[in-house]
Chains A and B, each alone.
Chain A
Amino acid sequence: MTSMNDRILFEDVSKFYGEVLGVNRITLNIPPGVTTLVGPNGSGKTTLMNLMTGLVQPSSGHVSVLGLTPGDADRFFRQVGYCTQFDSFPRRLTGAEFLFDSLLLHGMSEGDAFRLAAEAIDRVRLGDAGLRRIESYSKGMRQKIRLAQAIAHHPRVLVLDEPLNGLDPMARAESLALFQELSRQGVHLVISSHILDEVDRISDRVVLITGGYIVAEGDIHEVRREVRDKPMQVLIRCDQPELLASRMFTANHCVEARLHADGKGVFLRTADIDEFYRLLNKIAVEGLVTIEAVAPADDDTLAIYQYLIGGDGSPS
């Protein structure tokens, strides 16, 4: 029971908007760490997040976060922060006033609310813009103030719907660094994003969703291994890539080889990763080629996205 109280649980959850399917029979058990929701537009990512936070109610099934439900708002929203995609704010407020008002609703003292609002503005690097009206903000600044509002009360669970949208490369890197820092502090992060290669770097787990159904979920490397019908690609850095490629092709499981652009490595695609590594070890022991580094070349969310869902997983 205690272990379940640090999880986000979806138990056979379905959501229909009239006759339109949102998500169907979702069962998920999300442990602490960084979890990325990946899927094309309209796949059900935002519906999952809205179900998690009570903005929509499940048609059937049950959702809980750390053992709490959104119906118990007093306790639930002290633990959960949600940075939505909705790009609108209460009118005529500065960024700081917006955060201050939000924090006052938690029931904290005005002094604490002021301190936490200033801290959140600092953490998202909004600077003096926090004292300007939100109406004058750029898209990136609005994204930052939304993020600041979600993290200001120090939640244990942070739900982020496309948090990198509208941010320039520098701000994206800052946000990712902040997510990593929050993760290190033990915050449970659930992120949906189209910018897969960036989010991939900080993710512990991935949930792939399309058409309202979960296609795969779990540790990124485990999910990749489970995709048995798609050959895996491995990059091997060595002194004689052509020779290595010809040796590896003697084995049936090797289906493709491509030299690296700098000529000092080779991408090999294999249908049997275990056999592949066994053969590679043998070649290394023989001393035929000097191997400097071996790394999976498509063991990431983007590759899994392409295999399981299709498309390029790039920002839309």
Chain B
Amino acid sequence: MKTERVDAIARSVRSQPWGLWWLQARRLVRMELRRNLFSWKAAWIYFLAFAPTAIILIHLLFESHPAYEISDDADVLAGIVQFYYIRLGVFFGCLGIFSRLIRGEMVERSLHFFLLAPVRREILLLGKFVAGSVSAVILFGGAVVADFALMYAGFGAAGREYVLNGPGLGQLEAYLAIIVLGCLGYGAVFLLLSMVLRNPTPAAMLVLGWEAINPVMPPLLQKVSVASYLRHLMPIHVPGQGIFALLTVQTEPVAGWRAALGLICLTILVLTYSCYRIRRLEIRYTTE
């Protein structure tokens, strides 16, 4: 009896038009990428991503780089990722990118075109999520790679040695993994908030506050936080000083793979609920 039911489910899964859904999702992602990356509205997100790059470039051009300062600059780069990108850049960048995907279309009164297309709403949501994630990763990942290259370019041979034969490339990999996971995690949260709330910004501020106080929460509640997972993936831990101390709290160390898996599970959970919500989504532009 149980086997028959499993067979029926397997048959049903196989009979779905996966090829069509894959094609529709790819096309949707392509359209959304065009709109996310090549729009004047995205200018402030470019600024958010590349502001540290500009500062590092100035540092490269106007300051000397003796070899013994490499570890100091590595700490500075770690601090930029930990305090700027994770807490501010990626956070607000994802808020801008992902809240535009559904709520922005509502405000511009163009969401109905997607809802009237022969595309399952779940595919629509996931396609938009992937497009938002790719856009955010291109911008912030690209910015971190540029930051990394400029940070060590001034050190000449010592810099090359640090990057190619030292810990440099490993750190870059970790930073990129953090950026990717941060974009996925915050992206899923803001996509859901923008679907549930007419103005997701106040709720995003609550999330920002929650992320700040999360490390002092009980272990179970710590799992409901994007930054808490990312913190464990940092290759260099920079203790906060002054105002930054508010943004960093020492917590029990967690293995990198467990942190990554935890964040992916959190993202899947949020996306699953978003898929449920989008099936009930109604077009009521007059109330926007």
| Chain A residues engaging chain B, CB cutoff 8 angstroms | 17, 50, 53-57, 71, 73-78, 82, 84, 86-92, 101-102, 104-107, 149
* Residue of A with least CB distance to B30: A104
Q: A71-B279, A74-B120, A82-B116 are in contact. Are A105 and B110 (CB under 8 A)?
A: no
Q: Is B48 an interface residue (CB 8 A)?
A: no
Q: Is B254 an interface residue (CB 8 A)?
A: no
Chain B residues with CB under 8 Å of A78's CB are 118
- Looking at the complex, which one of B17, B109, B110, B115 makes contact with A74 (CB distance below 8 Å)? B17
A190→B97 CA distance, assembly (Å): 38
Chain A residues with CB under 8 Å of B110's CB are 86, 88-90
Chain A residues with CB under 8 Å of B113's CB are 89-90, 102, 149
A101→B116 CA distance, assembly (Å): 13
Chain B residues with CB under 8 Å of A107's CB are 20, 23-24, 118
New A-B contacts (4) at CB < 8 Å, excluding given A57-B282, A77-B117, A105-B114: A82-B116, A104-B27, A106-B117, A107-B20
Chain B residues with CB under 8 Å of A87's CB are 109
* Residue of B with least CB distance to A150: B116
Nearest Cβ distance between residue B270 and chain A, in whole angstroms?
22
* Residue of A with least CB distance to B283: A55
- Looking at the complex, which one of B28, B39, B118, B283 makes contact with A73 (CB distance below 8 Å)? B118
Q: Is B203 an interface residue (CB 8 A)?
A: no
Contact A55 B118 (CB under 8 A): no
Contact A86 B112 (CB under 8 A): yes
Chain B residues with CB under 8 Å of A54's CB are 115
Q: A73-B121, A90-B110, A101-B31 are in contact. Are A17 and B284 (CB under 8 A)?
A: yes
Q: A71-B279, A105-B27 are in contact. Are A86 and B115 (CB under 8 A)?
A: no
A87→B113 CA distance, assembly (Å): 11
Nearest Cβ distance between residue A178 and chain B, in whole angstroms?
20
**Most B C-beta atoms less than 10 A away, residue of A57, A76, A86, A105:** A105
Chain A residues with CB under 8 Å of B31's CB are 101, 104
A243→B240 CA distance, assembly (Å): 105
Contact B117 A102 (CB under 8 A): yes
B233-288 at interface with A (beta carbon < 8 Å): 279-280, 282-285
Q: A74-B20, A88-B109, A90-B35 are in contact. Are A105 and B283 (CB under 8 A)?
A: no
Nearest Cβ distance between residue B258 and chain A, in whole angstroms?
38
* Residue of A with least CB distance to B107: A88
A54→B117 CA distance, assembly (Å): 11
Nearest Cβ distance between residue A239 and chain B, in whole angstroms?
57
B21-65 at interface with A (beta carbon < 8 Å): 23-24, 27-28, 31, 35, 39
17 examples of A-B residue contacts, CB within 8 angstroms: A53-B116, A55-B112, A56-B283, A57-B282, A73-B117, A73-B120, A73-B121, A74-B119, A75-B118, A78-B118, A86-B109, A88-B109, A91-B39, A104-B27, A105-B117, A105-B118, A106-B117
Chain A residues with CB under 8 Å of B282's CB are 55-57
Q: Is B108 an interface residue (CB 8 A)?
A: yes
Contact B116 A77 (CB under 8 A): yes
A160→B271 CA distance, assembly (Å): 34
A54→B23 CA distance, assembly (Å): 23
A55→B106 CA distance, assembly (Å): 12
- Looking at the complex, which one of B108, B118, B284 makes contact with A56 (CB distance below 8 Å)? B284
Nearest Cβ distance between residue A52 and chain B, in whole angstroms?
11
- Looking at the complex, which one of B108, B109, B280 makes contact with A57 (CB distance below 8 Å)? B280
